[in-house]
Amino acid sequence: MSGSSPQEGPAAGGGLLGPTQVRGLVQALGIRPTKTLGQNFVHDAAAVRRIVRSAGVGPQHCVLEVGPGLGSLTLALLETGARVVAVEIDPALARALPVTVADRMPQAAGRLRLIEADALSIRGPSDLGGARPTLMVANLPYNVAVPLVLTALEALPSLERLTVMVQAEVADRLAAPPGSRTYGVPSAKAAWYAQARRTLTISRHVFWPVPHVDSALVELTRRLPPATTASREQVFAVIDAAFSQRRKTLRKALAALAGGTDRAEAALRAAGIDPAQRGERLDVEAFAILAEALGALGPGGSQGPPAQEPARPHIHQPDQSPARGAQEGPRAGEEPR
C-alpha cells in the first residue's frame, strides 16, 4: 500500500514499516542483523515520524540518510516530499531498498537516490552523484556513529543541520559542554563544525532486534569553525593528545606532540593556558589557540614572534554536579583520529 496518510495502511502506518513488515522483509531477504554493521531496524512508525518532525524535514530539502537499512526512516523522510540520498554499505539491503520504496510509496520512488558505499569513504558531493544535501537524518550504527558524523560534516559543507539517532551515551558525549565529565574528543571535534544538543530519547523497544541500551537524538547545527591560522588537522591533533591521557595535566599530555614537557609548557603559556589544567577545561577555540602556539615553537623549543597577540582562550570550570559517563575506561562510540 502506498498511501502516506497516518490513517492509511497497516497499523495506521501508511506506507511505513511496522513490526510485521520488518520481520517479513528480513525473512524474505534471508539476512541476519549483524553487530558488525550495527544493524538494529526501527519498526515503529510513530517513532520515525517523531524523528522526522524533530529534524524539520520538508519538501524543500535534500536529505542525506546513512544506513537506511530496511527503509523505515527512508519512507518517513520521503513522506514529507523531501528528496533523499541514502548511503547503504550492505549489498542485500541496498538492492532491496528501492524495491521497498516502489512497493510501499510508489509516488515517492523518483525522489530516492541510493548509493551503495561505505559512508566513511565519502569525500565530497561527487561520491553522492553530485547531490548536495542540506540535512542529514539517520539512525547511525552505534560502533561508528562519531566518525560518521565527523566525516559528513567535513566532506559535505552543504549540510546545515544533522539530526542523528545514536546510543544515549554517545549522544551525551557529542553534546557535552567543556568542563563536564562527559566532554572529550567527540565533543571537542564536533564543536569545530557545529553546535550540538541532545533532543529526544528513543526507547530501545522501537528496534528489532532490541539493543541493550536506549538511543537519543542529537541535533548538530552548522557553525563557522574557530578563526585560526592553525589547520583543522593541527587542532584535532592537539585535541587527541590532550585527551589521550585524561588524568594528566596538559603539560604532560601534550609532551609527545610538542617534543617534550618544556616545549608543551612554553606553548601553553604562550596561549594563555595554565599548564596544570586538563583538556576537559578547554573549548574548541582554546584548542585552536593552543595549536597556533605549538606551531609557532622554534626547533629548540623557543617561541617565535606571533603575528598578533593570541586571543584569550575559553577556560571552563569543572562541572561539580554528577554526570553520566564519569567512570574511566572504554566508552561507547569510536573516537576519531
48 and 134 together in one domain: yes
Q: Is 38 annotated as a binding residue?
A: no
- Residue 280 maps to a domain: yes
Residue 326 confidence (pLDDT) above 70: no
Q: In terms of domains, do 186 and 217 share one?
A: yes
Same domain, 233 and 157: no
Give the residue ranges of DSSP H helices in 30-137: 45-55, 72-79, 91-104
51 close to 219: Cβ distance less than 8 angstroms: no
Q: Does 253 score more than 90 pLDDT?
A: yes
pLDDT for res 32? 76
Domain span at residue 305 reads 228-319
Report pTM.
0.83
- Spatial contact of 117 and 127, defined as CB atoms under 8 Å apart: yes
Distance (Å, rounded) from C-alpha 22 to C-alpha 43?
A: 6
Q: What per-residue confidence (pLDDT) applies to 31?
A: 82
pLDDT at 306 over 50: no
Residue 310, pLDDT > 60, answer no
Q: Within a 10 A sphere around the Cβ of 276, how many other Cβ atoms?
A: 11
Contacts of 13 (CB under 8 A, 6+ apart): 6, 45
User: 42 a known binding residue?
Assistant: yes
| Total domain count, the chain | 2
In percent, how much of the chain has pLDDT > 90?
75
38: left (phi over 0), alpha (psi -120 to 50) or beta: left
| Cα 112 to Cα 107: distance, rounded to the nearest angstrom | 11
Asked if 153 contacts 145 with a C-beta cutoff of 8 angstroms, the reply is no
pLDDT, residue 316, reads 56
Do 242 and 286 fall into the same domain?
Answer: yes
Residue 145 has pLDDT above 50, yes or no: yes
- The order of strands in the sheet holding 135-139 is 112-116, 83-88, 62-66, 135-139, 161-167, 215-222, 194-202
Tell me, yes or no, whether 113 and 197 share the same domain: yes
CATH number assigned to the domain comprising residue 20:
3.40.50.150
Q: Is residue 127 part of a domain?
A: yes
Asked whether residue 79 is assigned to any structural domain, the reply reads yes
> Is 12's pLDDT higher than 90?
no
Nearest by Cα to 165 from 196, 191, 200: 200
User: Looking at the domain assignment, is residue 208 inside a domain?
Assistant: yes
Q: Is 40 annotated as a binding residue?
A: yes
Helix (H) or strand (E) holding 42, with range, is strand 41-42
Q: Would you say residue 285 lies in a domain?
A: yes
Kindly report whether the peptide bond that precedes residue 209 is cis, defined as omega within 30 degrees of 0.
yes
**Does the pLDDT value for residue 171 go beyond 70?**
yes
Flag whether 305 is in a domain. Answer: yes
pLDDT class of 303 with cuts at 50, 70, 90 = very low
Shared domain for 200 and 236, answered yes or no, is no
CATH number at residue 251: 1.10.8.100
Whether 86 is in a domain gets the answer yes
Q: Same structural domain for residues 119 and 174?
A: yes
pLDDT digits (tens, 9 = 90+) for 178-192: 999 999 999 999 999
pLDDT at 142: 85
Q: What pLDDT shows up at residue 255?
A: 97
Residue 44's CB is within 10 A of a number of other CB atoms, namely 22
Q: Are 106 and 2 in contact (CB under 8 A)?
A: yes
Instruction: Clarify whether residues 84 and 210 are in a common domain.
Output: yes
Same domain, 83 and 138: yes
pLDDT at 190: 99
Most distant CA atoms of the chain, gap in Å: 73
Q: Identify which has the larger pLDDT, 85 or 14.
A: 85
b/e code 182-209 from CB counts within 10 Å (16+ = b): bbbbbbbbbbbbbebebebebeeebbbe
Q: What is the mean pLDDT of residues 287-316?
A: 65
Contact 254, 286 (CB under 8 A): no
Grade residue 243 by pLDDT with cuts at 50, 70 and 90: very high
pLDDT at 267: 98
Q: Are residues 204 and 311 in the same domain?
A: no
CA distance 177 to 190: 11
118 is annotated as contributing to ligand binding: yes
pLDDT confidence of 141, banded at 50, 70, 90?
Answer: confident
Domain boundary among 222, 252, 267: 222
End position of a domain, from candidates 201, 222, 243: 222
At residue 70, the pLDDT reads 95
Mean pLDDT of 153-179: 98
pLDDT in tens, 42-74: 999 999 999 999 999 999 999 999 999 999 999
Residue 1 in this model has a pLDDT that exceeds 60: no
Report the distance separating Cα 219 and Cα 98, nearest Å: 28
Within 8 A by CB and 6+ apart from 319, the residues are 177, 179, 180, 181
**Does residue 330 belong to any structural domain of this protein?**
no
CB distance 315 to 284 below 8 Å: no
Asked if pLDDT for residue 33 goes beyond 70, the answer is: no
The verdict on 185 and 277 lying in the same domain is no
Residues 92 and 163 in one domain: yes
Closest CA to 104 of 180, 20, 171, 32: 20
